[in-house]
Amino acid sequence: KAAAGHAAGRGEMSVKEVAARLSVAPDAVYYWISQGQLAARRLAGGWLCVPFSPEVEQAVRQRIANSNRMKPPIQNIAVGDVV
């Protein structure tokens, strides 16, 4: 969760932003945080901010790629589209 007045620090994203960037449900991000697989800090009001460096993004994307439950979204390409 993030809201105006509860700004994340530089290099941090809200749970919703992380989920959107990775094309996963916010619940997946909350799960990783609860399991200690993704760091987060709680701001005033209970908002969570995730330090999200390129290294963290790469590690999480690798976790998604190796998951039996989660697969990266497949892009649908219409017939005749340039690939």
pLDDT band at 69 (very low <50, low <70, confident <90, very high): confident
pLDDT of residue 10: 80
Q: Please tell me what DSSP assigns to residue 3.
A: -
Give the amino acid at 45.
G
Across residues 53-79, what is the average pLDDT? 79
pLDDT of residue 45: 87
pTM, two decimal places: 0.72
In this predicted structure, which of 1-5, 35-39, 59-63 has the lowest mean pLDDT? Answer: 1-5
Q: Is the pLDDT of residue 4 over 50?
A: no
Burial of 34 (0-12, 13-18, 19+ CB in 10 A): exposed
In whole angstroms, what is the distance from residue 24 CA to residue 7 CA? 23
